[in-house]
Amino acid sequence: MTPKPRAKNTNLPKYCTLSNGRIVYRPRIAPEHRHIIPTDRHGYLRPPVRLGKPGDPEREIIAAYLTAKNQIEQQIAATHHTLAWVVNQYTRSSKFKGLAPGSQRRAQVFLRILDHPATIDGEQKTLGDIPARSITRPMVRRLADQRLKQYQSNGKKGVVIVNREITTLASAIKWAKDHIDRLGIVENPFGIEKYSEQPNTRYVTDEEYHIQRDIAAGVADYLPVVFELAYLLAGRSVEMLDIKLSDIDTDRETGGIHVTRRKGSESNIIEWSDRLYQAYQDARELHARHKIAAIDAPLLINQQGQALRIETLRTAMSRLKKKMAKESLSDVYWSLHKLKSKGVSDAQDDRIAGHKSESMRNRYRVKTARRKPAR
């Protein structure tokens, strides 16, 4: 039965009516929420919430109304605002879309944690199905421990990826607290202490570098060029892929390569050395083998003459790693990021990578210092 409309001149809020000698609150529930809140066939709350009786102080009626209204909203939010729903809102936000494309792709990989099994009301579901407001720090701590144990049982170290998974969810909740109404979260549950990550201490020797560089030539013709540039420019892979022909001043006396640095490092120009200029010439030789249509082409291209993508580079590195394992050279193998450390360690100026702080320069300076004793 549809509730009677409010009487004229009443101060009662909307959906508050007089029924059987009682003042009740019986709101109409939106269709998309009726699987959460019980309603009659007309879509009104069933049973209605009793607020009081005629003659009760108006302030008590209003207070009871506000409490009932808030409880219904919180019940809807608790079910509707699952962690997966919140994360989906975050990944559609301008904040997320403002991240670098590579950062967005990595975040999507880390968000696979949402598929982690979870038990909710006796049913086997996933982490993403849990209402965001119901997640606690102790729950996240146990989750992180379980994830780490799972990765390690599969032969992986796991520390870095678990830290990144938790950090990605922490970023989503931080955004949601500022942009989603009635989220019901005061403290970010994903702000737990991260696992300690071991710093990179390996220095790739010249011998190890040349062994892998020679083998890489048989995997993809662009890999040796990428290695030389990453080492001599002390750059990340994405920084090397960002370099275009317009970033290069070919004047051998005053020119060099302009490198746009990522992650807060200062962009800079690396002046020509004979070896760096030869690496540039090798890259241009690859251009000569293909028809490059772009006016301002990237310096690094793939075997089809197109811009070399980070995914293609990672695939080639994976093939190289397997090839070196077959040749019993797994101990020699090094990742591209190790070349940045080698580049910083071997450069005449350890500020080559654009790091602003001494602590960051020390982090990448992995070559063991050599000192002469007293005579």
| The predicted structure's pLDDT at residue 138 | 95
Of residues 292 and 140, more confidently modeled = 140
User: What's the length of the chain?
Assistant: 375
Confidence of residue 293 (pLDDT cuts 50, 70, 90): low
The alpha helices in 191-329, defined as continuous H runs, are: 206-216, 223-233, 237-242, 274-288, 310-326
pLDDT of residue 2: 52
Determine the Cα–Cα distance for residues 339 and 73; give it in Å rounded to an integer: 54
Judge residue 223's burial from the number of C-beta atoms within 10 Å of its C-beta, 0-12 exposed, 13-18 middle, 19 or more buried.
Answer: buried
- CA–CA gap between residue 202 and residue 196 (Å, rounded): 18
Least confident of 165-169, 221-225, 302-306, 367-371: 367-371
Distance from C-alpha of 15 to C-alpha of 297, rounded to nearest angstrom: 65
Burial class (CB in 10 A: 0-12, 13-18, 19+), 312: middle
Q: How far apart are CA 89 and CA 81, in angstroms?
A: 10
Is the pLDDT score of 171 beyond 50? yes
Count Cβ atoms below 10 Å from residue 32 Cβ, excluding itself.
Answer: 9
Cis peptide bond prior to 298, omega within 30° of 0: no
Give residue-wise pLDDT tens across range 185-223. Answer: 889 999 999 999 877 788 999 999 999 999 999 999 999
> pLDDT by residue (tens digit) across 75-97?
776 666 889 999 999 999 999 99
Structural domains of the chain sorted by starting position, each given as residue range(s) with its CATH number in brackets: 16-79 (no CATH), 83-179 (no CATH), 206-364 (1.10.443.10)
The mean pLDDT of 216-243, rounded to a whole number, is: 95
> What is the Cα Rg of the chain in Å?
30
pLDDT digits (tens, 9 = 90+) for 5-30: 444 436 788 999 988 889 999 999 88
**What span, in angstroms and rounded, lies between the C-alpha atoms of 343 and 16?**
73
Residue 277 burial (CB < 10 Å; 0-12/13-18/19+)?
A: middle
DSSP-derived secondary structure letter, 244: B
What's the rounded Cα separation, in Å, for the pair 188 and 200?
30
What integer pLDDT is reported at residue 299 of this predicted model?
Answer: 94
In this prediction, residue 355 carries a pLDDT of: 86
In tens, the pLDDT along 106-164 reads 899 999 999 999 987 678 889 998 989 889 999 999 999 999 999 999 888 899 999 99
Q: Which tokens belong to 72? A: 């219904």
Averaged pLDDT score across all residues of the chain: 89
Structure tokens at 255: 């020119």
Position 4 pLDDT exceeds 60: no
Residue closest to 310 by CA, chosen among 69, 102, 89, 109? 102
Please give the biggest Cα pair distance in the chain.
106
- Contact yes or no for 356/264 (Cβ under 8 A): yes
Q: For 55-64, what is each residue's pLDDT tens digit?
A: 899 899 999 9
Residue 70 pLDDT greater than 90, yes or no: no
94-103's contacts with Cβ under 8 Å and 24+ in sequence apart are 95/175, 96/175, 100/238, 100/262, 102/238, 102/310
The pLDDT value given to residue 8: 40
17 and 23 in contact (C-beta within 8 Å)? Answer: yes
**What pLDDT shows up at residue 1?**
47
What's residue 90's pLDDT? 96
Name beta bridge partners: 44.
28
Average pLDDT over residues 233-245: 94
Cis? peptide before 47, omega within 30° of 0: yes
pLDDT of residue 302: 84
**What is the spatial distance between Cα 44 and Cα 230, in angstroms, rounded to a whole number?**
65
Q: If you average pLDDT over residues 44-53, what whole number do you get?
A: 93
Q: What is the mean pLDDT of residues 269-286?
A: 95
Cα 131 to Cα 33: distance, rounded to the nearest angstrom: 15
Q: Of residues 49 and 356, which shows the higher confidence score?
A: 49
Task: For residue 355, count CB atoms less than 10 angstroms from its CB and return exposed for 0-12, middle for 13-18, buried for 19 or more.
Answer: buried
Q: Write down the pLDDT at residue 269.
A: 95
pLDDT at 5: 47
Indicate whether 289 pLDDT > 80: yes
Looking at residue 251, the DSSP 8-state letter turns out to be -
Q: Is the dihedral of CA 99, 103, 106, 111 positive or negative?
A: negative
